[in-house]
Amino acid sequence: MKIRRFLHYSGLTIPFLLLLISGTPTAIFGQDQADSLSVMLEPLTVEATHSSVTLDRASISVTAHRRDLTDLAARRASTLDEITFTLPGIWISNRENHALGERMTVRGMGWRSQFGVRGIQVVLDDIPLTVADGQTIMNMVDPAMVTSMELLRGPSATFWGNSSGGVLYMRTRMQPDAPALMLRSYAGSFGTMKHEVRWQQQFREVRFGSWGSYYQTDGFRDHSRARLIRSGISAGFDLGDRSTADLRLIYSGMPEAQHPGSLNKEDAKSNPANAWPPFVDSQAGKTFHQLMLSGAFYSNFDSGLMTTSLHGIYRDLENPLLPAVGYIEVDRFAGGGRITYDFDNLPFDLQTGTDFRWQRDDRSQRENINGSPGGDYSIRQLDNVSSYALFAKAVFDIGDFSINAGLRGDRMVFRSDSIDVATDRVMEADDERRVFTALSPSIGISYHLSNARIYANFSTSFESPTTTEFKNRPGGGTGFNPNLDPERTVGGEMGVRGLLESYNLEYDLTLYMIGVNDLIVPFEEVDGGPTLFRNEGSTFHRGAEAHLRLLPLQRVHLEFAYSWTDARFQDGQFEGNKIPGVAPHRLGATVSLHLGHHTLGTDFELVSTYYTDSANSSVNNSYQLVNARWSYNGLRFDGWNLNPFVSFYNLMDTRYNTSVAINAFGGRYYEPGSSRSFQAGISLQLN
């Protein structure tokens, strides 16, 4: 396929061609950014809220995290769990299965996802990875390139609309004093190898940046080999005295990703490296290529700031699965836009705006014949999703109090039309149309103390079924399931965040409650068959979160996060049961020690026992993981730095299951995690 070949080679070559064109980098190389609390407590704009509110005024639970140059150079960061495990509230399970991707929950929201991410908005470099129907494909993100993150931990539909049980906002932009060019390579256990490049430069008035990476692994388990190619380009420039523009292009390609499937409890314990034989026999896996393009334009007027953004996505997916499911192909075009106006001359902060998103999936399903598509179609349809929204948000300062209020209205339209295989003609069906509306208010209040802020808020969100969940209808057939409706969520929280200067301690403590109605529940009718969905009752989530950053000594940095989540079914068939796939207790901690030119680091993660099915008949046992790494930054020469590093993972060789397939048929819930492993590499930084 020509488009596939073009995407593959453009993803590999674009960043490297830019490096050749740029000539000798001229940016000044700065020393490694210090892990200082003052950096974190600067008045940061909370970009994850799509507004101008700063972190010190926000009446919501939000965590900001920046990675310093030492971490960027020495931490492997091949999956997102490696850079998020010390953030409270969020849990990313590395399934070690690139065909499915990581599994993500925020306070238990998103638990039902069998692949990709549900119920949580994910944004990379201002481009929403979450499309109109609520699906998020995480393979677009190269965690090693992420330089900063913001996490909104509560319902956030006022800011983002559909599927906003939480928001993870990531950037790949380097600090201005960072090296102009960074190269890194490493290799290690399970045939794993990765090469990375990152570059930034300013030519006259244009600020350029690019990054690219190639990753391959044989995987710990059989039939889990994968290759990924990812790259990004950005350019920022002024359009006169009062306007600026930013353009971004991101490519991601996965030419190969084998799917080992999940195992039953006995096999996961005795033969964790095995794949489930039917998945091997059917050559189950996934390949895709995806392009994302965005533009943002900022215009200053006497009365305020207008921001206009547009983005577009193309995705080409092939997904061979078991014979009972077939060979799935999807060509997706998606995108959206947003216009906001932030008023400057009012006695309070006010933002008004509108946004829209659209999605068009050309979906087909045929017989899977040894990893290749057969000739007969079981499904051939065109799915269209569009959403439109109006919103307004305001912040009022009254003495030491800040009041945040917002209101958003959304309208979503789903439409599915069959395609005649013989003529390739769209057969429009009036009855295959679903329309949803939602009104999402939020209100919060915060009180400023000398070195702390106390806050509380009430917020809402909703989550529509995705097109995949809609089309997998009981009894089969084409079109959308007419009996499946969106989830509705209401949440409240209160907390305090601040700084104890005498102890060099930054802290964030939060209590929350969340109620979800019209719950969307996954289930299987037959072994190896498609995952189906139905609305069933409601759930109630409550919990507590703690996040600490501590500098007890100048050369020591400690970070600690603890999350307690009690999430249960409120009614329906499983009333009183705990929600599967949600660990009640999670703890993440990291310690970094700087000794001259040497940096030693260790990570610790604890996950408690949790249920694997809605009936609470089976559990995934608790586990603790210890990782360690060493890096050396003493090889400094005129204009460049050389940093060797070594990383060890699962240092104690713990036998554990990194994730589960919730409610899987036949008790095949378990996805084993890898044994002890290591990687060694080197990072080169040029000024």
Residues 6+ apart with CB under 8 A from 587: 560, 561, 562, 563, 604, 605, 606
What's the token pair of residue 453? 């802020």
CA distances to 74, 242, 305, 451, 585 from 302, rounded to whole Å, are 46, 10, 8, 34, 51
User: Do residues 145 and 213 lie in contact, with contact meaning Cβ atoms separated by under 8 Å?
Assistant: yes
Q: Which of 450, 448, 438, 462 shows the shortest CA–CA distance to 395?
A: 448
User: Do residues 64 and 49 lie in contact, with contact meaning Cβ atoms separated by under 8 Å?
Assistant: no
Using DSSP bridges, classify how beta strands 425-427 and 401-420 pair: parallel, antiparallel or unpaired: antiparallel
pLDDT of residue 162: 87
Decide if pLDDT at 553 tops 70. Answer: yes
Q: Is 537 exposed, middle or buried (0-12, 13-18, 19+ CB in 10 A)?
A: middle
77, amino acid identity: A
pLDDT (mean) for 469-481: 68
What's the token pair of residue 672? 């084993």
List the CATH code of the domain at 2-686: 2.40.170.20
Measured distance between the N- and C-terminal CA atoms of the chain, rounded to whole angstroms: 41
Bridge partner list, 194: 186, 215
504, amino acid identity: N
User: Do residues 135 and 436 lie in contact, with contact meaning Cβ atoms separated by under 8 Å?
Assistant: no
Residues 61-80 pLDDT 10s: 988 899 988 899 889 999 99
Bridge partner list, 146: none
**∠ at Cα 524 (520, 530), nearest 5°?**
95
Q: Which of 594, 453, 592 shows the shortest CA–CA distance to 41?
A: 453
Decide if pLDDT at 551 tops 50. Answer: yes
User: Do residues 142 and 83 lie in contact, with contact meaning Cβ atoms separated by under 8 Å?
Assistant: no
Running DSSP on this structure, what letter comes out for residue 98? Answer: T
Decide if pLDDT at 430 tops 60. Answer: no
Decide if pLDDT at 611 tops 90. Answer: yes
Residues 634-646 pLDDT 10s: 898 888 999 999 9
Decide if pLDDT at 251 tops 90. Answer: yes
**pTM as predicted:** 0.89
pLDDT of residue 555: 87
Decide if pLDDT at 465 tops 90. Answer: no
**pLDDT band (50, 70, 90) for residue 483:** confident
C-alpha to C-alpha distance for 364 and 370, rounded to whole angstroms:
17
**pLDDT band (50, 70, 90) for residue 469:** confident
Cα maximum dimension of the chain: 75
Residues 96-148 pLDDT 10s: 899 988 889 999 998 877 777 888 999 998 888 999 998 888 888 999 999 99
pLDDT of residue 421: 67
DSSP structure string for 415-484: EEEEEETTTTEEE--TTSEEEEEEEEEEEEEEEE-SSEEEEEEEEEEEEPPPHHHHHS-TT--SS--TT-
CA distances to 383, 428, 435, 481, 668 from 431, rounded to whole Å, are 13, 9, 11, 11, 37
C-alpha to C-alpha distance for 528 and 476, rounded to whole angstroms:
15
478, amino acid identity: T
What's the token pair of residue 188? 């290690």
What's the token pair of residue 650? 């699962």
Percent of the chain clearing pLDDT 90 (strictly above): 61
Residues 651-670 pLDDT 10s: 999 999 999 998 888 899 99
C-alpha to C-alpha distance for 567 and 25, rounded to whole angstroms:
52
**pLDDT band (50, 70, 90) for residue 31:** very low
C-alpha to C-alpha distance for 207 and 572, rounded to whole angstroms:
56
Q: Which of 647, 656, 657 shows the shortest CA–CA distance to 677?
A: 647
Bridge partner list, 184: 196, 683
pLDDT (mean) for 272-284: 94
Residues 6+ apart with CB under 8 A from 4: 289, 316
- Evaluated on CA atoms 310, 316, 319, 324, the torsion sign reads positive
Percent of the chain clearing pLDDT 70 (strictly above): 88
DSSP structure string for 525-581: SSTT--EEEEE---EEEEEEEEEEEEEEETTEEEEEEEEEEEEEE-SSTTTTPBPTT
pLDDT of residue 32: 39
What's the token pair of residue 282? 């059917």
CA distances to 27, 415, 418, 427 from 430, rounded to whole Å, are 59, 9, 11, 10
Residues 364-375 pLDDT 10s: 989 988 888 888
Q: Which of 420, 417, 530, 529 shows the shortest CA–CA distance to 479?
A: 417
pLDDT (mean) for 582-608: 95
> 430 φ, ψ to 5°?
-65, -25
C-alpha to C-alpha distance for 529 and 153, rounded to whole angstroms:
34
Decide if pLDDT at 25 tops 90. Answer: no
